[in-house]
């Protein structure tokens, strides 16, 4: 029942202004291009950028990558906020109605356990 969303790379790439796969290198006055520049922006390897382009980003990767650009994930992917709300509703249901322990809910949904613990 794990709820892992995969977010497409293209909206994130567009938000960077970096031209992916620019042939022949960048020219004077052009935006920086290529996988290497994207990796530098996000602090990840070229291999990770290639994977993101092929299969998308997980919720956590999408969040971290958007924040690296000083954006909210919902600024890049408008549906991100809706997916986050759905995950929290499922968590609330598992915690309350079914009595699951916060640690188990966090593990199942990929949410931080400290945010699920109630005082």
**Residue-wise pLDDT tens digits, 47-74:** 999 899 999 998 878 888 998 999 988 8
Judged by DSSP in three states, 72 sits in: coil
Q: Report how far residue 13's alpha carbon sits from residue 52's, in angstroms, rounded to the nearest whole number.
A: 10
Contact criterion met (CB below 8 Å) for 36 and 19: no
**Residue-wise pLDDT tens digits, 83-94:** 766 676 677 777
User: Band of the pLDDT at 119, cuts 50, 70, 90?
Assistant: very low
CA angle in degrees (0–180, nearest 5) for 57-84-16: 40
Stated pTM of the model: 0.61
Phi (first) and psi of residue 57, to 5 degrees:
-110, 145
Q: Report how far residue 89's alpha carbon sits from residue 40's, in angstroms, rounded to the nearest whole number.
A: 36
């Amino acid at each position: 029942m794990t709820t892992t969303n995969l977010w497409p790379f293209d909206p994130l790439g567009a938000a960077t202004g970096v031209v992916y796969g620019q042939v022949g290198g960048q020219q004077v006055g052009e935006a920086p291009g290529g996988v290497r520049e994207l990796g530098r922006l996000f602090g990840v390897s070229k291999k990770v950028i290639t994977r993101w382009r092929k299969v998308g980003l997980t919720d956590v990767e999408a969040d971290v990558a958007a924040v690296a650009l000083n954006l909210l994930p919902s600024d890049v992917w408008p549906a991100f906020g809706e997916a986050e709300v759905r995950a929290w509703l499922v968590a609330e249901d598992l915690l309350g109605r079914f009595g699951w322990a916060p640690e188990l809910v966090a593990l199942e949904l990929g949410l931080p356990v400290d945010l699920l613990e109630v005082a």
